Each structure stands twice: as structure tokens, then as C-alpha cells.
Chain A
Amino acid sequence: MSTYSDASSVSAPAPRALRPTGFSGVVPALAFVAIFFIVPVAALLLRSVLEPVPGFGNYAELLGSATYLKIFANTFIVSGLVTAISLLIGFPVAWALAIMPGRLASVIFAILLLSMWTNLLARTYAWMVLLQRTGLINKMLMGMGLINQPLPLVNNLTGVTIGMTYIMLPFIILPLYGVIKKIDPAILQAAALCGASLWQCLTRVLLPLAVPGMAAGALMVFVMSLGYFVTPSLLGGTANMMLAELIAQFVQSLVNWGMGGAAALVLLVVTLSLYVVQLRFFGSQNTGGR
């Protein structure tokens, strides 16, 4: 393949690799992204230090009030819980997927992809109905005699955690699957030959080898959960707001652009710094967060 480029570089004054080419191709997209992405986001963040008066008053109010701190706490607690539960369920599933016979694995994969691509609102609506006081989950639990009174599963953080774990599960299973699939079975065989029990093989060999994948997947789920809007606002009820909903409320109902911009910046800084951590330590991962 080099012969053709050599032939063409004879007539070219500079070696092909040094001559900048192709930039004109990216100009339309660059213009589009600059106008409709960079400018609006930058303008929003600027308003946080300019409105209503220039200065850092919005940030002082945001980080100094108990109401807002509770919202930050809600956001981090729910995101942490969702991440932990997804990891706990996701690891065995990813492990099983990696070693299952092909046909069963492809059925499970189809289910994972189907749920990932099914409309978010549709799935959240399903949980609103499933989790309500007279919903299927409460009826089943009461039918099995586990509880006497219906549990309050919706309009609170329990509902948010269930609904979000459901949504995040595929996002942790897929990267974990990739990591486990790459582990050489010979390493585990060697451990077994050296006399390790199954439990020792798991805790001293398999789990440590999967740690990078677990950390990367967990970080991704955590970051995505921090910025989630639809599921928390439908399953959470008004008393248990999360950060994304706070931003929306500042802007839509209170028309307070300064505070909205400040809250957006906080979310953005946390999100981007966690992504930098992830890129630095675990390489890039595909995401699809909303």
C-alpha cells in the first residue's frame, strides 16, 4: 500500500505525512459544535458568576445552604448505592456470560441490548406502576407473606435506586464481560493445580484480575447516575430531589439562571473530573448516558 503513496509523493513538494490535509472536512461539524454546543454551555456557566450580580454569590448560596447540601447528598448516596448494587449483580452475570454456552449467552445479550435501547420513559413508567402501593411488587411480597403492609417503594429514594439500578445494569455488565472474557483460563488452572480451592481462585485470582474492569464500569455508572434526570424526577417525588432536577427547577420554575448555571457547573466539574480519572487509569469506555 505504500507504493501508491510513494508514487504520489514524488510530485508533491512536501512529504505526505507533514502536509496538513482534510481539515476542511471537519469545518462544518466544528462550526456546528462551536455554535450549538460550546457557546451555549459556556454562556450558561458564565451566567453563574454574572447573574444576578457578578461574583461567586451563587456558589456560596449553593454550597452553604442545608437544603442544597441535602440534594447533593441525595445525589451522591443514590449514585453510590446504584453503583454498588449494579456491581454486585453485574459481576456474576458478566462472569456467567463470559463462560456460558454460546446460544444461552446470545439470548442474554439480546435481552441486555433490548433493555438498553428500550425507551427510557417507557421503562420508568413501568417501574412507577410496578412499585406503587397496589403494584405488582407489593402484591407479590404480601402474597408471599414477607410483609403485612405495602412498602412505600415509590416517590422516595428507594424507588429511584431500584429504577436507576435497572437502567444501569447493562452498562456495567457489558464492560465487565469484556474484561473477564480476556482473562486467560490457564492462569486459573495454574492456581487450581497449585492447590487453590474454588473460593481462593475467585478471591485471589479472578477478582483481582477483574478489578480494572470493575473500577472502570463502576466509575462510568456512578458518573451517569449523578446527572440523571428523568428517572429520579418520576420515581423520586418532590421531597427527594437530585442534582439534575434541581438544575431544571432553577431554570424552569424559578427562572434563576445564576443558580441554575452554578449547579450545572458543579455537576459538570464532578462529571468531567471523574471522566479524567477514568481515562487516565482505565482507558476509554463507551458510554450512552442520559
Chain B
Amino acid sequence: MLLNFDRLGWWKYALLTITILAAAFLLLPIFFIAALSLGSSQWLIFPPPGWTLQWYRELLTDPRWLESAWTSFKIASIVTVLSVLLGLVTSFGLVRGTFLFRDALKALFLTPMILPVVVLAVALYAFFLRVGLGGTLAGFVISHLVLALPFSILSISSALEGFDKSIEDAAILCGASPLEARIRVTLPAISHGIFSAAVFSFLTSWDEVVVAIFMASPTLQTLPVKVWATLRQDLTPVVAAASTLLIFFTILLMALVALARKVLKS
């Protein structure tokens, strides 16, 4: 009864109300930010007295914002490529391999996911100060890769676990070299896993704040760091515009994932 929606009686309406309120609670900030970024008041009055694209203009004509967005994009792209390549090689080893401590090793690779990010950020900050990687592009890429790699290994190995290896063996029996079989048979079959690994890696790096705050230098900062630094000074609507662009990018990528899942799985 309790698990049958139509037979819940008035409880049904109570549950529905709570759910819709919770959904509204989750959506409110996202809509609110988008509305603020188009509002004409500098003092973030809502509802705004008028609508304007002024904040976007300010954002898109300020070389510092553009530069940090470009930095973010560059870092996220490099991280994505490295994370997918490393994730692929590692997943094959973890899923197909038979060696001691295989499960322990997999657990080790996933630990950065559960570690409080601030601990990792501070640890890498200290390490990079010693080896001279602080504030460099390589430093950003490495630290974001530490966070992205677990997602990549997780999605690729679960795709690989779901793939029947005998199909690859069959290709080899039919005369393909092992490498050829992997590239032409296995990789296309696990492409949905590779694709989600790429998207997760990109988003992990693109949205990363905590580590980036410690990595950043006056000359090199990512978009979230720029947002963070601006927020510490004032709540200008330019940040709302930047945030809306960040959100827009995320939605675009999520839609791409949904689309790709449909296409790749069919």
C-alpha cells in the first residue's frame, strides 16, 4: 500500500507537496542566478527593476575573465585527454589482469574520491612549493588529474566489466592481432564508458575550486578561482553572469552525455 502511489490516500498529496517543494528548493538558486545575471540593478535587487546584458558585456570584454576562462578550458581539456588515456590502460589492467592486491590497488586508485579535498589541496600545495610546480599549468593539470582519474577508472572499468571478452577473443581467432582486436572491437563496445569518463573528467577539472585556490598564482588562475576571488570582495552581478555561463556549460555537457548514451547504446 505504502509503495503504491494511487492507494496512498491523502498521504499521496503530502508526499507530492514535500517532493515538489524540495525540487523547487534545488532549482531556486539556479534560476535565481540566471535572473540576477540579467537584472539591471547593481545591488542584486530581486525582482530587478529592468533587464540588461550589461554584466555579460562586462564579463566578455574583461581580458582577465576571458583569460581565466581560457585557462580553465585548456586545463580541463588536457586533464580529459590524460585521464581517459590513463584510465583506459589502468582499467584494462584492473579488469583483465590477475595479480596480487588487484582489489586493494583499485581501492587505492579510488581514494582521492573520498579524501577531503582540502587535505589533498594543502598536501599538493606543499609538495609543489618544493618541486617548483606551484602556479604552473603543469601543477594545475596534475592536481586536477589526481581528482579526475578515479572517475575515469570507475566508468571505464565498469563498462569493460560489462563487455564479454570472448568477443575480443573471437576477433583474434578470426585473424586480428590482439591490439587490432582491442582497438576495433573492444574500444567501440565500451565507448559509452570512455565518453562518460571524458565528460566526468572535464567537469571535475572545469568545476574544481578547492585545489585550484591553492594552485593559483597572480598570473595563472582558473575561472572558479576568479569567481572565488571576486566573491571575497563583493557580490557583483558580473559573478552571476560568470556563474550562469558555468552552469550553462554544465547543462550543455549533461545534455551531450544523455544524447551520447542514447546513440552509443542503441
Flag B169-194 by CB within 8 Å of A: 1 or 0 each. 11001000000000000000000000
Q: B209: CB under 8 A from chain A?
A: yes
- Tell me if B149 and A29 are in contact (CB < 8 A): yes
Q: B240: CB under 8 A from chain A?
A: yes
User: Which of A22, A112, A130, A201 meets B92, CB within 8 Å?
Assistant: A22
Q: A185 with B105: in contact, given A169-B26, A198-B11 (CB under 8 Å)?
A: no
Q: Which residues of B (212-236) have their CB < 8 Å from a CB of A?
A: 213-214, 224, 227-228, 231, 235
Question: In the complex, what residues of B have CB within 8 A of residue A136's CB?
Answer: 32, 46
- Tell me if A36 and B143 are in contact (CB < 8 A): yes
- Tell me if A43 and B5 are in contact (CB < 8 A): no
CA distance A198 to B16 in the complex (A): 17
Q: A77: CB under 8 A from chain B?
A: no
Question: In the complex, what residues of B have CB within 8 A of residue A101's CB?
Answer: 5
Q: B251: CB under 8 A from chain A?
A: yes
Q: How many CB-defined contacts (below 8 Å) exist between A and B?
A: 282
- Tell me if A289 and B116 are in contact (CB < 8 A): yes
- Tell me if B22 and A43 are in contact (CB < 8 A): no
Interface of A, helix, strand, loop or mixed by DSSP: helix
- Tell me if A26 and B105 are in contact (CB < 8 A): yes
Flag A25-46 by CB within 8 Å of B: 1 or 0 each. 1111110110011011101100
Q: B117: CB under 8 A from chain A?
A: yes
Q: Of A52-60, A64-72, A143-151, A223-231, which stretch is located at the interface? A: A223-231
Q: Which residues of A (86-122) have their CB < 8 Å from a CB of B?
A: 89-90, 92-93, 95-101, 107-108, 111-115, 117-122
Flag A1-36 by CB within 8 Å of B: 1 or 0 each. 100110000000000111111111111111011001
4 closest A-B pairs by CB: A22-B97, A25-B93, A227-B116, A126-B29
